[in-house]
A and B are shown apart, each in its own frame.
Chain A
Amino acid sequence: MSRNNDAQPTLRARLWARPGGRVALILVGLIILIALLAPVLTALEGQDPNTYHDNLLNSATGGGPNAPFGGISAAHWLGIEPTTGRDVFARLVYGARISLLVAAGATLGQLLLGLLVGLAAGLGNRWADTLLSRFTDLVLSFPYLFFSIALLAIVPQSFPRPVLLCVILAGLYWAPTARIVRAETLVLREREFVAAARLYGASVWRVARKEILPGLAAPVVTFTALMVPSNMVAEAGLSFLGLGVQPPTPSWGQMLSTATTWFQTDPEYVLVPALTLLLCVLAFVALGEEIRRAVDPKGAGR
Chain B
Amino acid sequence: MTAFLVRRLLAAAAVLLIVAAVVYGLFYLMPGDPASLACGKRCDAAELAQVRQTMGLNRPVYEQFWTFISSIFAGHAYDNGVGTVWCSAPCLGYSFQSDEPVTQLLTQALPVDVSLVAGAAVLWLSLGIGFGLFAAMRPNGLRDKATTFVGLAFGSVPIFILALLLLLLFCVWWQVLPFPTFVPFTQNVGQWAENLLLPWFAIALTFAGNYLRLTRAGVLEALGQDHIRTLRAYGYTERRIVARHAVRGALPTVATIAAMDIGGVLAGAVFTESMFGLPGLGKLMVDSASTIDLPVITGVTLLASFLIIVANTVADLLYAVLDPRVRIS
Contact = CB atoms under 8 A, between A and B. Distances in A.
A143 interface: yes
Given A277-B158, A301-B140, A264 B292 contact: no
Contacts of A267: 168, 172-173
B10 interface: no
A256 interface: yes
B30 A154 contact: yes
B268 A281 contact: no
A153 B140 contact: no
A260 interface: yes
Given A146-B268, A282-B156, A141 B19 contact: yes
A52 interface: no
Contacts of A145: 270
Interface in A62-84: none
Given A154-B32, A256-B164, A143 B271 contact: no
A274 B165 CA distance: 8
A176 interface: no
Nearest to A241: B286
Contacts of A142: 19, 22, 305
Contacts of A236: 158, 160
Grouping DSSP codes into helix (H, G, I), strand (E, B) and loop, the A interface class, with mixed when no group exceeds half, is helix
Contact of A289 (B152, B161, B312): B152
B116 interface: no
Contact of A153 (B157, B164, B297): B297
A142 B196 CA distance: 28
Contacts of A155: 30
B301 A278 contact: no
Interface residues of B, number: 48
A243 B156 contact: no
Contacts of B146: none
A26 B198 CA distance: 35
B167 interface: yes
A243 B289 contact: yes
A149 B153 contact: no
A285 interface: yes
Interface string B1-29: 00000000000000100110011001100
Contacts of B309: 141
B73 to A, nearest CB: 22
B205 interface: no
A150 B156 contact: no
In the complex, which range does the number of interface residues on chain A fall in?
35 or more
B165 A149 contact: no
A141 B19 CA distance: 9
Contact of A264 (B140, B172, B274, B297): B172
Nearest to B220: A302
B108 to A, nearest CB: 18
A141 B302 CA distance: 12
Interface of A: 138, 141-143, 145-147, 149-156, 229, 233, 236-237, 240-243, 256, 259-260, 263-264, 267, 270-271, 274, 277-278, 281-282, 285, 289, 301-302
Interface of B: 15, 18-19, 22-23, 26-27, 30-32, 140, 152-153, 156-158, 160-161, 164-165, 167-168, 171-173, 217, 264, 267-268, 270-271, 274-275, 285-286, 288-290, 292, 294, 297, 300-301, 304-305, 308-309, 312
17 contacts: A141-B312, A143-B267, A143-B304, A149-B270, A153-B290, A154-B27, A155-B30, A236-B160, A237-B158, A237-B271, A241-B274, A256-B164, A263-B168, A277-B158, A278-B158, A281-B157, A289-B152
Given A141-B15, A146-B301, A154-B292, 6 more contacts: A143-B301, A153-B288, A153-B290, A243-B290, A263-B171, A267-B172
